[in-house]
Amino acid sequence: MNLNICVVNLGQHFGKMQYDYSKNKDEHPEPIKAEVKGLIPEWLQGTLIRNGPGLFSLGETRYNHWFDGMALLHSFTIKKGEVTYRSKYLRGDTYNSNTQANRIVVSEMGTMAYPDPCKNIFSKVITFLSHTIPDFTDNCANNIIKYGNDYHATSETNYIRKIDPITLETQDKVDYLKYLPANIVASHTHYDKEGNSYSMGTCIAEKGKTKYMLFKVPGGSRSDGSPPLKSAEVVCTVPCRSLLTPSYYHSFGMTDNYFVFIEQPLKLDILKMATAYLRRVSWASCMKFHPEDSTLIHLIDRKTKKEVRIKFYTGAMAVYHQVNAFEDDGHVVFDVICYDDNGLYDMFYLDKLKEQMGAETMYCKPTCKRFVLPLSDMGETGEDLVKLKYTTASAVKEKDGKVLCQGEVLCDGVELPRINYNFNGKKYRYSYLCCVDIYPVAKKVLSVNTFHKNQTHDLGDGFASEPVFIPRPDAVDEDDGVVLTSVINAKPAQGGFLLVLDSKSFKEIARACIDVDFHMDMHGYFIPDNS
């Protein structure tokens, strides 16, 4: 395959560039008008909301892991060529309890919180007992998702928080368990053209079974004003291959007719998690990668609501983000970002990040791979069932009837993929990613096109967030639009900026400069004005 990559370079001298992951960030709840350099297209109007950790220490306590930090929302509102910025901490129960105590009192995945030593023995005993079956945090610092007409900050617990997308005010606390038997829910959601949302959760040891569950939340508002999740319906379930060690997952794939779910050998040990507090270890220590196990690839028919008959698998790998999935001539093509192990999570412990600042540290680089799942297994044992000419991905039928899939490497050192979402589930050509070939903090953003030539544009020193594609209204071409990414200036005193790239040329057309020290965020959602 003739792969082409367009690169925007945010820094040439990375060894001199450092980002302090453990620094607490200030919020800016009142709108700040940006200084716009260049020309923002008139058609680009709406709000980009992004989410990520921003507070890492309270009083004498601090978080162990960057993912654990308190959620800090920030937004860029674009109207008539102007941009306004604001940021605000998510004021959930976790944030309020921690700030009132001026210490971390609610446990996160990588940081276990313990009772204040000054508390009496009775309070300590109650706290220890309550952690046997933990009530998870509502510190939703990972993504923004839409259910019905409501927007929510989310992580991967059973709690999400409704937010006001304009003011960033924190609103209702929503518990999935009130509507679905979902103890853990993925951070990423899919949407169809009718506005329905599709999400995935894990139901742990209900009636002696652990299963993965895909569910649908209808679009629009409910007439009685109740939460959209009240109308949620389970689309299908997939049994877990082990009762008390379900697979961790962060996203899944969806085409017009299929869901694609990767059951990877990165597993959560539920019994260990139940006793983690008593053993004074974090829940993250109960998540383990098993390189000796295979990775199962589940293909679910959306019409029958059942898995297809063919059993697909590949070697051990860790996956967080899917790029896209589509159907082509009797195959399902599935592009994902893969790791050889779970070293990425371990890298983000704050002590390790501090040690690695400025060091020439190598890590397990991610690889963008294309897997192809044939919808028919008619063929001889040992035969490659993939008949598509444009990929080297294979799917070999084995003696036991299972199909061993080997992925084609599209490119490596990339993460946080986004596409033109109008092509989600469709045959597509373009994706937009962060370049993380040396270190997990991105100093470049990339446009990847599997068929044409490369272009590069140098922007100077900075750290990029996930690039978000916004299509031009009534666009015909897949790549007709702009790409937005918030950029942290390597010199915080100079403030950050929202970068606007023309998606065809991948050249800068505007930047909105804000005199604010941005925080490193994770994911976001663009809300066009017409919605």
Binding residues for Fe cation, as ranges, are: 188, 250, 321, 523
Tokens of 369: 């791979």
Element (H, E) at 93: helix 93-101
Q: Give the torsion sign (CA, 242, 244, 250, 252).
A: positive
- Rounded Cα–Cα distance for residues 341 and 317 (Å): 6
Q: Which amino acid is at 264?
A: Q
Residue 310: closest CA among 408, 406, 398: 398
Q: Which residue pairs, CB below 8 angstroms and at least 24 apart, start in 420-425?
A: 420/469, 420/471, 420/478, 420/479, 420/481, 421/191, 421/469, 422/471, 422/478, 423/324, 423/478, 424/190, 424/191, 424/254, 424/324, 425/190, 425/254, 425/255, 425/256, 425/324, 425/325, 425/326
Start-to-end CA span in the chain (Å): 39
Q: Give the torsion sign (CA, 231, 161, 141, 136).
A: negative
**Binding residue positions:** 188, 250, 321, 523
Q: Are 247 and 266 in contact (CB under 8 A)?
A: yes
Tokens of 200: 């995935």
Strand-pair partners of 60: none
Max CA distance (Å), the chain: 71
Angle in degrees, CA 295, 439, 493, rounded to 5: 140
Give CA torsion, residues 174, 179, 183, 185, to 10 deg.
-70
